[in-house]
């Protein structure tokens, strides 16, 4: 062996001996685990992070409090969190414009420019929807009972159906998700039938039934916010394969999540257009009172 080879072998023996000592004492974490260039050492699940993955650190630090906040606000129960296909939601968020990303971030927590917060911030004297005059929070926007909001909702649902057609979505999937989304504007978010939707169209597959029931547990508001449960992408991929298509189920699901978010954005834009126009019912009533 050359001199370099002997040095390398000697260092390997020393390192292996040290590792054996740690294993024997059940102390595989060294007393000084911080690398010389690190300001601190970070552990996730009792494992030292040797390569700083910001997403993993953010998840470990922020996620517990975020889940607790969502549960307190009734948005997403902890037991339903793992059923969401977060990688698909991540793809959808990356495809959105920055303004659209800010919209969904604000509206999922409800802290946005609706009348509820405009009054709280001292910008308005009353909490009233500009379309119907009722109290307005972020949940009211897609559910506003005014005829103008209803017309806008129908236009956006039509765009969703066109999206289903252009991406060749499986008919049972499109029918179920469309039916669930429409309950946003039905009393108490209840379907207008006693028969489960996934049986209305001959959906007898147990896998499809399980996915539908999981999505039902999340509810229509989560669907409007682009939260799809696991297996929608897999079911659509199976449909593509049965048709001999080389399209991607994951891409289909990410695009669907994006389109659902944009429906909520479309309702918000319509509301804002009315708010800043002469059609604002609150401004009209205020002007009448002044006259």
Q: How confident is the model at residue 74 (pLDDT cuts 50, 70, 90)?
A: confident
- CA 215 to mean position of chain CA atoms: 13
Domain boundaries, given as residue ranges, for the chain: 3-57, 78-290
Residue 240 tokens, joined: 């593509």
pLDDT over 90, % of the chain: 46
Mean of pLDDT values over 105-129:
92
pLDDT digits (tens, 9 = 90+) for 145-160: 999 999 999 999 999 9
**198 or 178, greater pLDDT:** 178
71-100 mean pLDDT: 92
DSSP code string of the chain:
--HHHHHHHHHHHHHHHHHHHHHHTT--S-SS---TT-SS--EETTEE-SS--HHHHHHHHHHHHHHHHHHHTTS--HHHHTTB-HHHHHHHHHHS-HHHHHHHHHHHHT-SSSHHHHHHTTS-SS---TTT-S---TTTGGG--SHHHHHHHHHHHHHHHHHHHHTT--HHHHHHHHHHHHGGGSGGG--S-SS-HHHHT----HHHHHHHHHHHHH-HHHHHTT--BTTHHHHHHHHHHHTT----HHHHHHHHHHHHHHHHHHHHHHHHHHHTSTT-HHHHHHHHHH-
pLDDT value, residue 284 = 73
Structure tokens at 164: 């289903």
Q: Tell me what pLDDT residue 63 has.
A: 86
Q: What is the average pLDDT value for the chain, to the nearest integer? A: 85
pTM assigned to the model: 0.77
Whole-number percent of the chain with pLDDT over 70: 85
pLDDT in tens, 27-54: 766 555 566 666 777 777 777 777 767 7
How far is the C-alpha of 161 from the C-alpha of 203, rounded, in Å?
19
Confidence band, pLDDT 50/70/90 cuts, at residue 192: very low
């Amino acid at each position: 062996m050359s001199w370099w080879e002997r040095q390398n072998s000697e260092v390997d023996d020393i390192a292996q001996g040290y590792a054996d000592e740690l294993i024997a004492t059940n102390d595989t974490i060294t007393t000084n685990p911080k690398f010389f260039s690190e300001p601190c050492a970070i552990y996730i699940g009792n494992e030292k992070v040797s390569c700083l993955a910001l997403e993993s650190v953010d998840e470990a630090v922020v996620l517990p409090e975020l889940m607790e906040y969502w549960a307190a606000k009734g948005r997403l129960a902890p037991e339903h969190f793992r059923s969401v296909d977060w990688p698909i939601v991540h793809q959808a968020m990356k495809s959105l414009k920055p303004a659209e990303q800010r919209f969904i971030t604000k509206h999922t927590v409800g802290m946005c420019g609706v009348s509820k917060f405009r009054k709280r911030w001292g910008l308005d004297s009353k909490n009233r929807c500009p379309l119907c005059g009722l109290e307005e929070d972020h949940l009211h926007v897609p559910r506003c009972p005014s005829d103008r909001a209803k017309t806008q909702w129908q236009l956006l649902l039509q765009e969703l159906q066109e999206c289903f057609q252009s991406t060749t979505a499986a008919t049972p999937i499109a029918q179920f998700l469309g039916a669930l989304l429409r309950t946003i504007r039905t009393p108490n978010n209840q379907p207008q039938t006693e028969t489960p939707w996934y049986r209305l169209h001959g959906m007898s597959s147990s896998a499809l039934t399980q996915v539908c029931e999981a999505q039902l547990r999340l509810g229509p508001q989560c669907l409007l916010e682009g939260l799809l449960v696991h297996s929608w992408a897999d079911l659509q991929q199976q449909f593509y394969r049965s048709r001999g298509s080389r399209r991607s189920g994951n891409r289909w699901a990410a695009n669907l999540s994006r389109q659902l978010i944009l429906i909520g954005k479309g309702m918000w834009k319509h509301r804002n257009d009315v708010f800043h126009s002469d059609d604002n019912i609150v401004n009209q009533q205020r002007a009448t009172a002044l006259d």
